Structure 1
Amino acid sequence: MTALIINHLQESLNALVTANQYRQIPDLQHHGRYVLSEGARLLNIASNDYLGLGSNKQLQSEFLNQLSQSPVDNIPRMSATSSRLLTGNDEHLQALESELQDWYQNAVEKQNLSSSKSVLVFNSGYHANIGILPALTTLPIKTLILADKLVHASIIDGIRLSQSKLVSYRRYRHNDYEHLAKFIEQADLSFERIIIVTESIFSMDGDCADLAQLVQLKAKDARIELYVDEAHAIGILGNTGLGLAEETQTLADIDYLVGTFGKAFASIGAYIMCDEVVKQWLINQMRPLIFSTALPPINHAWTRFILAKIPSLTEQRLHLAQLSTMISTAIPEPYRISATNQSSAYHSPIVPYILGDNALTIAKSKQLQAAGFYALPVRPPTVPANTARIRLVMNAALSSDDCQRLIAHL
C-alpha cells in the first residue's frame, strides 16, 4: 500500500474523530451482569442479552455438566470444518431445525391457526439477511421490494444484492402504512410479486411494527409476501417467546419469519421459518449458506439447550417488560422518540435516549459510565443524522433498584 493511500485513510479517520463519529473496539472483561472497562466495574445496559441468559453462570454450568456426563464420542465437535453442503452438517444442527419447527407448530396450534413451516439455520442474522432476498429474487419474476426506512443494515445490504433488471425497491417511511399502501397502489400489474420487509422490534428506536396492519395490507393484494425479522423480539414476546408474530397471532400470515440466536438466546446463529419449497430453494441458491463453513456443533448443542428453556421463561419475560416500561416512561420528553414512531403497545427492552448532537451524546455516555453504568453512544451513520442517542437496553438480570438508580441519572 502506498504512502498516498495511507495518508488518505488517516485523513478520513481524523475527520471521523472531528465529527465525533470515530469507532473503537472496547477493551472489556465480563463478570456476570457487569463489565470491567478501563478499570471500572459497570452494570451492563448495552448488551442484547435480553433474558440475562448470557451472564447466567448456573445455566452454563448445567450445560457443561451435561457434556461431561456424555461419552467422549458424543461430545459435539468444536468446529464444523466445512460448509453444510460438504461435511458441515451434524446431528445437533438437524435436531435444532426440527425443534424450532416443533416450537412454531405448537405456537400455531395453541392459537387455532392453520400453518406449517420448515426451518433452515444460518451462521448469523447478517448471513440470513444478505442471503435470503438475493436468493428469492433470482427467479425470472418481476419483483418489487418495499422495506421500512429503518430496517437493519444487513437487510439493506440484502436488498442491494438483490437488484437486477427484474427487481425494484422502495423504502417507505418508518411504520407509515399509508405511505406503504401508496407504493402498493402504484405498483403496476407488471410486478408479479411484492415483498414487504420489516423488523418486528426495531433495533435502534425500540418500537414495533404493526404486524396486524401489514397482514391486512397483504390480504388486499395476492402478490404480497411478508418478510419479518424478529431478531430483537425472539425470546421476549409471545406466550412461548416466539416473538411479536406470536404475540399478535400473525404467525400463519408471515411468509419469511427470520430470527437470531445471538440476542435473547445468548448463543450464535439465525434461522428462517418458511415453506418447505422455499427452504430447498435457499439451500440451492443462498450464497452465504453454500459458501460458509457451518457453525461448530458445540454452538448448536448450546442453542438447543437454551431453546428447551425459552418457552417456560414467562417470569423473566414479565420482569423484563416491567423494567422496560419503567425506563421508557422515565425518559424526559425532549429525549424520547417522536410520538409518530411510538406505534405499538408492546414495550421493547430497547429504550433510546435521544440527544441529537454527537458531542452531547458522548458526554452523556461518559456521565452514565462515571455513575456505574455501561451505556454507549450510538451515532450516525448507524442512526439518522441528528438523532445520536444512548441506547439503553434492559435485561431480565437487572433489578427494579438498578433501574431506579439509572433513572436518577437521566
Structure 2
Amino acid sequence: MVQLSGSMMPIRESIERELLALRQKGRYRELPSVTQRSGNRIRIGGKLLLNLSSNDYLGLGDRREMLDRYLVTLREAGYAMTSSSSRLLTGNHPLYGELEQTLADLYGREAALVFNSGYHANTGILPALSTRHDLILCDRLNHASIIDGLMIAAAPYIRYRHGDYQHLEELLSDAAGRYRQLFIISESVFSMDGDLADLERLVALKKRYGAFLIIDEAHGVGVFGQKGLGLCEVAGMVEGIDMIVGTFGKAFASVGAYAVMDTLFREYLINTMRPLIFTTALPPAILGWSLAVVRQQAVMSDERNRLQALAARLRNALRERGLAVAGESQIVPVVAGGDRQAVLLAEKLAAAGILALPVRPPTVPENSARLRLSLRADLQWEDIESVPELLQGL
C-alpha cells in the first residue's frame, strides 16, 4: 500500500482548500442561470439586464426574422441535427464544402477549413504544423487557447512582450538560421484589452525572416472590414498572412471556427490535426446556419461602422471621467485592478440593470481585474450613456 508523505493531503481536502482560497480572493466563479435572451437584453436570475457581456457583436444571434427564414430552410432541406461521425468517416456533409468554398472566395484565398471551435483550431494547428526543430513566437497576451496549443506542440516557444514588435524582431534575428521554421502567432483584436495588432508590421517581419504568420481574428471578423473579414481586410494584408483563423461563435452568431490558407496546408491539417481527426463533425443544421450568417454579415458594413462609432464614444466618455480604459475596438475594458473591486463594480451595474461581468486572473494578469464592456451593433447611445457615470470614482 502506498503511503502519503507528511506534506500531502487527500484530493478532496486539497480541492476544498483551493476553492476556499478562490472565494477569499474574490475569484470564485459560478455558472449564471440564463433563462431568456431578447435582443440586447438578457434575463439572468429572474432579472432582465442590458447585455454588455456578449460576443454577438452584430446582434445576428437575436435577429428573429433571420432565424425564422433559416428554420424554413432547415425544414425544407431536412438538415440533420447530428453528424454522428468525424469528417474523415461519414460526417463530411456537403455543407462543409459549400461553407469552406464561400469563405475561401470571400478572402480570395485558395482554401478554407472549418473546425468545431476556436479552441479546437488553436490547440490543433500549431501542434500539427510545428516540430521540435521549429520555434514559435507568441504575443504574451494571446488567448488561452493559443497558449494551450503552444503547450501541446513539440516546438519550443517564446512569448514576446505584448505588441512589442522590436522585441519580436530581436527574437527573430537571434533565431534566424537555427530552426527549420519560425512561426509567429498573434490575435488581431486582443480579447481582454480590445487593442489591435499592427498587421502591417507583423507581415513585414514575417517576410524579412521567412516566418510563418498565423493571425487569430476571433474578435475581428464581422466587426472590421467592408466584407467583415477583420483587421486583415482593413490593413490589406489578407494575402500576406499565411493562415487567418476566424470563429463562428462571436460576431457570426453560430458555432465553430475556420482558417483560410493555401491548399497545401489544408491538405496537411486534414491528415495530421488531431482535434479535426478525432472529433465528431458539426451537425448539418449548424453548418447551414453558419453559411447563412457568413453571407448576411458580408453586407453589414453600416452596422460595423455604427458599432465602432459607439465604442469610440463610450471610451471617450469613460476617459473624461478619469477611468483607465484601453482598446480601439468594440471591446471596452475598464480596469479596476483588484478582484473584489471588479466584482463590486459589476454588482453596481447589475443593480442599475446592466450586465457587465468581471474578468479576473488568470484570464487577465494579476492586479488588472476589469469590467469588459462588450458592445453590439444593436445598441443605441441611450442604452449605455449611464455607464460612465455609474463607474465614475473607480
Name the TM-score, length of structure 1 as normaliser: 0.90
Partner of 1:170: 158
Q: State which drifts further: 143-152 or 53-62.
A: 53-62
Q: Aligned equivalents of 1:77 and 1:193: distance in 2?
A: 42
Alignment of 1:147 with 2:128, yes or no, is no
Q: Secondary structure at the residue paired with 1:391?
A: strand
Partner of 2:71: 64
User: 1:135·1:282 contact (CA, 8 Å) conserved in 2?
Assistant: yes
1:23, distance to aligned residue in structure 2 (A)? 0.9
Alignment of 1:10 with 2:1, yes or no, is no
User: 1:234·1:241 contact (CA, 8 Å) conserved in 2?
Assistant: yes
1:405, distance to aligned residue in structure 2 (A)? 2.6
Q: Aligned equivalents of 2:40 and 2:194: distance in 1?
A: 21
For structure 1, the 5+ residue unaligned runs are 106-115
Q: Secondary structure at the residue paired with 2:42?
A: strand
Q: State which drifts further: 378-387 or 184-193.
A: 184-193
For structure 2, the 5+ residue unaligned runs are 1-8
Moved over 3 A (4+): 332-335
Alignment of 1:121 with 2:114, yes or no, is yes
Partner of 1:290: 277
- 1:254-299 Cα deviation digits (max 9, x unpaired): 0011000000000011011111111111001000000000111100
Q: State which drifts further: 325-334 or 8-17.
A: 325-334
1:121, distance to aligned residue in structure 2 (A)? 0.3
Q: Taking structure 1 as reference, are residues 188 and 32 closer, same or farther at Cα in structure 2, changes over 3 Å only?
A: closer
Q: Secondary structure at the residue paired with 1:396?
A: coil
User: 1:365·1:377 contact (CA, 8 Å) conserved in 2?
Assistant: yes
Alignment of 1:270 with 2:268, yes or no, is no
- 1:175-228 Cα deviation digits (max 9, x unpaired): 000111111111142213111100000000000000001111122122x11110
Q: Aligned equivalents of 1:61 and 1:397: distance in 2?
A: 19
Alignment of 1:255 with 2:236, yes or no, is no
Q: Secondary structure at the residue paired with 1:315?
A: helix
Q: Aligned equivalents of 1:360 and 1:257: distance in 2?
A: 37
User: 2:74·2:285 contact (CA, 8 Å) conserved in 1?
Assistant: no
Q: Aligned equivalents of 1:117 and 1:203: distance in 2?
A: 28
1:153-232 mapped onto 2 (5 Å cutoff): 153-163=144-154, 167-222=155-210, 224-232=211-219
Alignment of 1:23 with 2:4, yes or no, is no
Q: State which drifts further: 123-132 or 318-327.
A: 318-327
Q: 1:67 is matched by which residue type in structure 2? A: L
Partner of 1:133: 126
1:326, distance to aligned residue in structure 2 (A)? 1.0
Q: 1:250 is matched by which residue type in structure 2? A: M
Partner of 2:87: 84
Alignment of 1:373 with 2:354, yes or no, is yes
1:326-337 mapped onto 2 (5 Å cutoff): 326-332=313-319, 335-337=323-325
Alignment of 1:37 with 2:74, yes or no, is no
User: 1:256·1:274 contact (CA, 8 Å) conserved in 2?
Assistant: yes
1:61, distance to aligned residue in structure 2 (A)? 1.1
Partner of 2:105: 102
Q: Aligned equivalents of 1:336 and 1:350: distance in 2?
A: 14
1:407, distance to aligned residue in structure 2 (A)? 2.8
- 1:139-165 Cα deviation digits (max 9, x unpaired): xx72111000000000001011113xx
Partner of 1:245: 232
Partner of 2:4: none
Q: Aligned equivalents of 1:405 and 1:309: distance in 2?
A: 32
- CA RMSD between the two structures: 1.5
User: 1:78·1:298 contact (CA, 8 Å) conserved in 2?
Assistant: yes
Q: State which drifts further: 248-257 or 320-329.
A: 320-329
Q: Secondary structure at the residue paired with 1:293?
A: coil
1:246, distance to aligned residue in structure 2 (A)? 0.3
Q: Aligned equivalents of 2:58 and 2:176: distance in 1?
A: 45
User: 1:323·1:403 contact (CA, 8 Å) conserved in 2?
Assistant: no
Q: Aligned equivalents of 1:130 and 1:216: distance in 2?
A: 26
Percent identity between matched residues is: 44
Q: Aligned equivalents of 1:93 and 1:337: distance in 2?
A: 40
